[in-house]
Amino acid sequence: MNHVGDRAQRVDAVVKVCGQAKYVDDLMERDMLYAKVFRSTIAHGWVKRIDTKKAKALPGVEAVVTFEDVPQHTFPTAGHPYHIDPKHQDVADRNLLTRSVRLWGDEIAAVIARDELTAQKALRLIEVEYEEYPPLLRAEDALKEGAREIHKGTKNIIKKSEYQLGDPEKAFQEADIIFEDEFRTSMVQHCAMENHSAYAYMDSRGRIVVCSSTQIPHICRRIVGQALGIPWGRVRVIKPYLGGGFGSKQDVVVEPLAAFLTTVVHGRPVKLELSREETFIASRVRHPVHFRFKTGVKKDGTLVGAEMRLISQNGGYASHGHSIAGKCTTTFRQIYQQHAVKCAATTVYTNTPAAGAMRGYGAPQVIFGLESHMENIARELAMDPVEFRLKNLHQVGYADPLTGLVTYTNGLAECMAKGKELIRWDDKKASREKPAGLKRRGLGMACFSYGTGTYPVSLEIAGARIVMNQDGSVQLQVGAAEIGQGSDTVLSQMAAETIGIPLEMVHIVSEQDTDISPFDTGAYASRQTYVSGLAVRKAAEEVKAKVLNWAQRMTDLPAEDLDLVDAWVVKKPGGEKVLPLARVALESYYHPVDAAPITADVSNNARVNALAYGCTFVEVEVDMAIGKVEILELYNIHDSGKLINPQLAEGQVHGGVSMGLGYALFEQLLFDEKTGKPLNNNLLDYKLMTVLDTPEMGMGFVETYEPTGPYGNKALGEPPTVSPAPAVRNAILDATGVKIDELPMSPQRLFEKFKEAGLLGEPGSK
């Protein structure tokens, strides 16, 4: 029975639909206390005085702590694997509470009370006096000579990096034409359904237990230990079901403070949950990035040299720091043969919310710039945008000169062919009249590449444990965190396929507990089906081998002549049934002399990576008078290797494209220019896509077989969100002739650009 490639129902579908799944907010401890954070009402400054006497005197308040009461050492928060080399460790620039204010809403004090309402009342009784400085809200402002340092000794620069391949200057001299462009992307928030939430208590042995909505339970454990300055083994992290993360929960946001607060009240459970308004400013956002591109091209469309410079705005704290900018510079070189390449990147502190991981991890930003730039070049050369890209693609066998990783599969050309066919590109291009009037239609497309995991930049380790029950079914435990993406289902399919049992005989444990679950660095980088899948396959192969060895002892038939199919030991070839698996399992448990239950507990260090590829094709109608863009037709096409579960793959595409369209057209966090106060940190004023805004989405898959993956698979979790924005931008350009080089492409921005271009004048004008 083939489970890989089957449209199996999600293993967590029933419990989620019926409301049986337990999230952090569904779990309670006896005598739970509640914490609230006192946040700054300035974006940049210093706390001169703080008075908490009135708050402490309020009935029901158990404790009030300030920046004076917490450990004074700093710690990192990014959900990266720990690195033994200090030079490669994340930037440690956080305190549990701070006196130095670096963004509006920074954490100065915390109240612990018997209920949330009392805690909220106590916050209003805290008196504070600030020394306020002008906020630096843009990277350019933070980099100006004489700008006040947000973190001392940094000059507001987290890190710079650059690399060069070949001789770009020589390539530019040999080019027939040189093109230069600038692009800017916006600050957006993840807006997962579940806000950040955690509670912590101390067990009878004095260990701190944290129950959290985290994507990275094992990393969370380490960071809590670092934040409190205690051995990591004194921390236990439990991750129940999780209501979405999209990267925001790949940062340790509320857990360290919750863990500290339980020590303040002698180990009693303390819960700390962010409101939606707090989540916008106190969790993480996507980096706004300013790109400059310079590309040399031959008259026939051949790319000969390219240069990209970028400045990434990171906010008040480093979080994932320069790694997003680094991902941009890597992605820049991995689609097209540009021969000579130069990249330079700078990541900058500003007095805005800290930017961290968000679905796509830098790729949505750089692909918006790169694919808009490629479109501009193709149009200037009077080349079809698809043919121009096809002419310059990397091919199978491409070896990245900096990482050494080899491309074994690349279905991008086939993806583009499928997209062209589905949207009827050639027919529409041939029949389209010159754009005119106030409603204009256009076609656009954009490509992407995306790595599967983080190797060789980071460690890629994953664990899996399989225990066979007496009836032949198995318990599957993984450290991989199910956060809504469907990893529990596909890993169960892999285990069932490899062992040779029906899917319903795989019982996966959906919650992670760092005391029990195998070590895995977490849910991020579209890694789990690939990296954790390799560990699951390894464990499942070990279990199958043990079953066949037991069957050999029971039948005297050589193990190499036996197979396990649909929970039966069978002869091969032919498939003649020999023994039911349940009988073998029972024998392993209760053999009077050699009883040894069949188990496997493995860890796999995946020193491999694979590039997924794809593209988006879109047709839009632009209402020039009001700047509204309607998506008439859209196709998101992927080479993600072998699809383990096509139904879940389609779900990933639907969600990712919707997020990509929101990024393209609507979403942007806004701040008061003078004070740095957030202006739309709520779901009323922050313009998320609604069901009424969401168009019909077409999709397609080109299935290659990736030899480095456990079953030929590659990344799919993040890729769908990467290319919709530049595809829409390029369609607007096709419809109107106007280049929109900044996100979001909102009605206000489009209206202004159309007016600037003279397209909204008197009747009869352009």
If one counts every other C-beta atom within 10 angstroms of the C-beta of residue 154, the result is: 16
By CB atoms closer than 10 A (0-12, 13-18, 19+), residue 381 is middle
472: left (phi over 0), alpha (psi -120 to 50) or beta: left
From the list 381, 377, 442, 445, the residue with the least C-alpha distance to 417 is 445
Sheet holding 61-66, edge to edge: 61-66, 107-113, 33-39, 270-273, 197-202, 208-212, 235-239, 512-513
Q: Write the CB contacts of 243 (distance below 8 Å, at least 6 apart in sequence).
A: 23, 192, 193, 194, 213, 484
pLDDT at 765: 46
- For 129-144, b/e burial (b = at least 16 CB within 10 A) is ebebeebbbbbeebbe
> Contact 268/197 with Cβ under 8 angstroms?
no
pLDDT for res 448: 98
Phi/psi at 720 (5° precision): -60, -20
Query: Could you check whether the bond before residue 456 is cis, i.e. omega within 30 degrees of 0?
Result: yes
71 exposed, middle or buried (CB, 10 Å; 0-12, 13-18, 19+)?
middle
Q: Taking the C-alpha atoms of 385, 388, 390 and 393 in order, what is their torsion angle to the nearest 10 degrees? A: -120
Domains and CATH numbers, the chain: 31-135+191-282 (3.90.1170.50), 140-188+285-392 (3.30.365.10), 406-451+611-766 (3.30.365.10), 456-605 (3.30.365.10)
Query: How far is the CA of 609 from the CAs of 124, 374, 492, 521, 671, in angstroms?
Result: 51, 26, 22, 16, 39
In whole angstroms, what is the distance from residue 691 CA to residue 478 CA? 35
User: What residues are paired with 630 via a beta bridge?
Assistant: 621
Q: Give every CB contact of residue 626 below 8 A, 6+ residues apart in sequence.
A: 747, 751
- Tell me the C-alpha to C-alpha distance, in Å, between residue 409 and each of 100, 328, 406, 611, 710: 50, 22, 9, 8, 14
Contacting residues for 47 by C-beta, under 8 A, at least 6 apart: 40, 67, 99, 100, 101, 108, 128, 129, 130, 131
Which pLDDT belongs to residue 19?
95
Pairing of β 506-508 and β 474-478: parallel
Which pLDDT score is estimated for 433? 80
Contact 193/213 with Cβ under 8 angstroms? Answer: no
CA distances from 279 to 191, 274, 741 (A): 8, 6, 29
Count the neighbouring beta carbons within 10 Å of the beta carbon of residue 742. Answer: 18
Cα distance between residue 122 and residue 578, in whole Å: 71
User: What's the N-to-C CA distance of the chain in angstroms?
Assistant: 63
With helix as H, strand as E and coil as C, how does 260-315 read?
HHHHHCCCCCEEEECCHHHHHHHCCECCCEEEEEEEEECCCCCEEEEEEEEEEEEE
Q: Interior CA angle at 266 toward 261 and 267, to 5°?
A: 70
455 burial via Cβ count (<10 Å: 0-12, 13-18, 19+)? buried
pTM: 0.97
- Residue 599 CB coordination number (10 Å): 16
CA atoms within 13 A on the CB side of 59: 0
Identify which of 454, 632, 513, 581 has the alpha carbon closest to the alpha carbon of residue 80: 454
Q: What is the pLDDT of residue 763?
A: 44
The secondary element (H helix, E strand) that includes residue 507 is: strand 506-508
How far apart are alpha carbons 364 and 450 in whole angstroms? 10
> Which segments of the chain have a pLDDT < 70?
1, 762-766
Three-state DSSP at 622 gives strand
The dihedrals phi and psi of 47, each to the nearest 5 degrees, come to: -85, 110
pLDDT at 342: 98
DSSP for residue 536? H
The neighbour count for residue 241, using CB atoms within 10 Å, is 20
C-beta separation of 263 from 225 below 8 A: no
CA dihedral of 367, 372, 374, 376, whole degrees rounded to 10: -170
* 592 upstream amide cis, omega within 30 of 0: no
What DSSP element (H or E) covers 127? strand 127-132
Strand order in the sheet with 599-605: 506-508, 474-478, 461-468, 599-605
Contact 393, 412 (CB under 8 A): yes
Name the token pair of 623. Answer: 């209402």
* d(C-alpha 648, C-alpha 656), whole Å: 12
145 burial via Cβ count (<10 Å: 0-12, 13-18, 19+): exposed
Read off the pLDDT of residues 160-212 as tens digits, 9 standing for 90 and up.
999 999 999 999 999 999 999 999 999 999 999 999 999 999 999 999 999 99
Q: Is the dihedral of CA 131, 134, 139, 144 positive or negative?
A: negative
Kind and range of the H or E element at 218? helix 217-228
Residue 559: exposure state from Cβ atoms within 10 A (0-12, 13-18, ≥19): middle
Pair 343, 162: CB distance under 8 Å: yes
Cβ–Cβ under 8 Å, residues 332 and 370:
yes
- How much of the chain exceeds pLDDT 70, in percent? 99
CB-based burial of residue 345 (10 Å sphere; 0-12 exposed, 13-18 middle, 19+ buried)?
buried
